[in-house]
Chain A
Amino acid sequence: MDTSIWRPILYLIGIMAFAGINAAYLGWCERKGAGHIQRRIGPKEVGPFGLLQPLADGLKLMSKQLIVPQGVDDIIFRVAPILAMIPAITSMVAIPFSANIQARPIELSVLLIFALASIAMIAILLGGWASGNKYAIISAARSVSQNVAYEIPMLITVITIVMLTGSMNLEEIAMKQQGGFWNWNIFPIVGHSIAQAIIMPVSFIIFFICSVAETNRAPFDMAEAESELVAGFMTEYGSMGFGLFMMGEYLNIVVGACLTTVLFLGGWHGPFGLTSGVLWFIIKIYILIFLFILIRWTYPRTQIYKLLNLSWKVLIPISLANLLLTAFFIKVF
């Protein structure tokens, strides 16, 4: 009985710490990464290697006044940043970091995370709408059409995984990928047909593109295209309102990376089947996050209509074909 009380508290603290540290330090990683990509040093003044920079930034943001401009929808304007942050933290509840490290084993955890990801989109919509700023409204409209477009191929791709593993429980999906990388869903050579092994990398690429688009990251950062829309939905936000949106964005990246790791990269299992554990999970998500950063600082931004065309005309047909082929191979072999 004892454990039933301590478990939630422990996990609550653990997840909050994990989320908080990630939200703060991914900003540092991003700036440091961008710096080195651009032949600069990046933050270096505050603390060793600029490690205290996020702290200084946080202090600065918190000490600033939250300006609520005239003519905005006051309540929604204040709620939106919080709404951007909460779903991202909440979805960490369902993520299995290792065999027994999961805040709450949920049977339909895949579904839960996608439901929560959609709420984050509503936060952007509300924030943009409540600001009463034309740039913000354009940005909100863009972000909704973008999210609707990219959730479809993402979900279809997830269905192939669910069909392959026969479960919607993230822990079970990860357990099924036990062993070396040849057992992971990205290259399912063992236990599946060769055709499957060809299809799954395609699924992975679709899923990864979609998760970049879902998290509003460059080159798909239509919602905050700063050369077009100033700061998009965040234009009117200052102080911690802006800070929460930023943290929410980074947490969404973490959740996206965690999900990709569990669905495709074998969760906490080591690549050669020898060791497994939470360390492998962390390594994998940070490799993915680094990929996010690398992409952002390399490519220019696409255009909203090209972005939607990519989803509706390329990704959705491919992912549907993928789904059908997967179903076919599962039935036949």
Chain B
Amino acid sequence: MTVPIQCGPDETFVLNLGPQHPATHGVLRVKLTMDGEYVVKAEPVLGYIHRMHEKMAEAGTFAQFMPNTGRMDYLSALSYNQGYVMAVERAAGIEVPERAEYIRTITVELNRISSHLLWFGAFVLDLGGFTPLLYAFDDREKILDLLEHVTGSRLTYCYYRFGGVYNDIDDEFITGTSDFIKRLRSRLPSLYHDLVTGNIILIKRLKDIGFITQEVCRKYGATGPVARGSGINYDIRKNEPYSVYPEFNFDIPVYSECDSMARYMVRMDEIEQSMRIIEQALDKLPDGPVMAKVPKALKPAAGDCYAAVEAARGSFGCRLVCDGGKGPYRLKLRSPTYSNLSLFGEVAEGMLLADALALMGSLDLVIPEIDR
């Protein structure tokens, strides 16, 4: 009788990545089952900073929820402002003046650039390069100064109002913005592309690593640069145009390589496209009021509406259900990184730890937005 071969001890071990770990950029915890340096199973664990934003929306008035939107994705807060404001405007049937829409576009695109710059720095930091982070922060600082000038805050903006914006932009902001674009245009090729994009170590770390196929993207509902890096040409600004985006001439960068490098390139190209949009918007900026006439206490009729915007990380959607009261009856938020993170477990399987973390960096996670 043959003796069955005895299996050796279980050779995998569990590595708790986070909630406090330099690579997770926040309180994300990933339970990794490792075989040596290979990831056998990756399981993101959420809930460390859940703040019940959706419930908070139900408890207050429409205006009271406004500041919360800037505290979900604190890196592209204005997109979230815009998504919520658009949903409420749709529900209440408010027409936004054209100048206000232009100002929204300019500021939201500036915010997108600042978000991508921060991602660029943090991503290269994940790959072990510290210096590009500070160069990117140098440029980002200029954007924060500009936005502080008009919005009054530097990070968690609450600038848009139902029916317009809080504050008109002035000449200082306009000249400052065009100066900034000139400056970033001159710095992008040398400080960003020569130093980082063309670096052989970076290319070897990103090329052909971290494949996210189109099927996986569709399965998990990935949007934004993650989907566009997998060859899915989907951008709400083009597919379901809102605000004044149809009036501008800009491209949606799409790369079909599906690897981490493709996602990197999408974001770097998006910075340039955002600059194009801002330039056109500054040229065409119409005169007029920046606020529509809106009653003090909004009481939209009972109904159900949805508004989606293209935030820096993907499509952000607001589903607003009203029952005729002063506040939302139900507000369902659809945040992009929640979907983008959920594909991590499937894609990271079988990868090396360092590559899996590079993949995680390329997803551009903002944890407070996943854990709303």
Residues of A within 8 A of B (CB): 34, 37-40, 134-135, 138, 142, 218-219, 221, 225-228, 230, 297-306
Contacts and interface: CB of A to CB of B under 8 A. Distances in A.
B201 A301 contact: yes
Interface in B44-75: none
Given A40-B134, A228-B354, A302 B205 contact: yes
B88 to A, nearest CB: 40
Contacts, number: 74
Contact of A134 (B13, B124, B125, B196): B13
B368 to A, nearest CB: 20
Given A226-B128, A298-B195, A301-B129, 18 more contacts: A34-B131, A38-B131, A38-B134, A39-B134, A138-B37, A138-B353, A225-B354, A227-B22, A227-B125, A227-B128, A228-B23, A297-B131, A299-B128, A300-B201, A302-B204, A303-B355, A305-B352, A306-B205
The 6 tightest CB contacts between A and B, nearest first, are A301-B128, A300-B129, A300-B127, A38-B134, A227-B23, A227-B126
A299 B201 contact: yes
Nearest to A137: B13
Given A39-B134, A230-B21, A299-B201, A304 B128 contact: no
B65 to A, nearest CB: 36
B119 to A, nearest CB: 14
Contacts of B301: none
Interface of B: 13, 15, 21-23, 37, 124-131, 134-135, 138, 195-196, 199, 201-202, 204-205, 352-355, 357
13 contacts: A38-B131, A38-B135, A225-B354, A226-B22, A227-B128, A228-B23, A299-B129, A300-B202, A301-B129, A303-B204, A303-B354, A304-B37, A305-B352
A34 B21 CA distance: 23
A85 to B, nearest CB: 25
A40 B129 CA distance: 16
Contacts of B21: 230
A34 B352 CA distance: 30
A225 B130 contact: no
B135 A39 contact: yes
Contacts of A37: 131
Given A228-B354, A303-B205, A297 B130 contact: yes
Of A134, A135, A299, chain B has the most CB atoms within 10 Å of the CB of A299
A134 B15 contact: yes
Contacts of B355: 303
B364 to A, nearest CB: 15
A163 B160 CA distance: 75
A228 B37 CA distance: 11
A168 B254 CA distance: 59
Contacts of B37: 138, 142, 304
B191 to A, nearest CB: 10
A328 to B, nearest CB: 32
B357 A227 contact: yes
Contacts of A138: 37, 353
Of A221, A225, A305, A306, chain B has the most CB atoms within 10 Å of the CB of A225
Contacts of A226: 22, 128
B66 to A, nearest CB: 35
A230 B202 CA distance: 20
A301 B127 contact: yes
A235 to B, nearest CB: 11
B356 to A, nearest CB: 9
A38 B125 CA distance: 13
Nearest to B358: A303
Contacts of A304: 37, 352, 354
Nearest to A134: B15
B117 to A, nearest CB: 15
B365 to A, nearest CB: 14
A15 B129 CA distance: 34
A306 B204 contact: yes
A321 B29 CA distance: 48
A88 B53 CA distance: 56
A230 B126 CA distance: 11
A228 B201 contact: no
Nearest to B204: A306
A298 B352 contact: no
Given A138-B37, A228-B354, A300-B199, A34 B204 contact: no
A219 B199 CA distance: 12
B120 to A, nearest CB: 12
A300 B205 contact: yes
A228 B357 contact: yes
A160 B131 CA distance: 37
A275 to B, nearest CB: 37
Contacts of B357: 227-228
Contact of B128 (A34, A134, A221): A221
A304 to B, nearest CB: 7
Contact of A299 (B23, B134, B199): B199
A298 B354 CA distance: 19
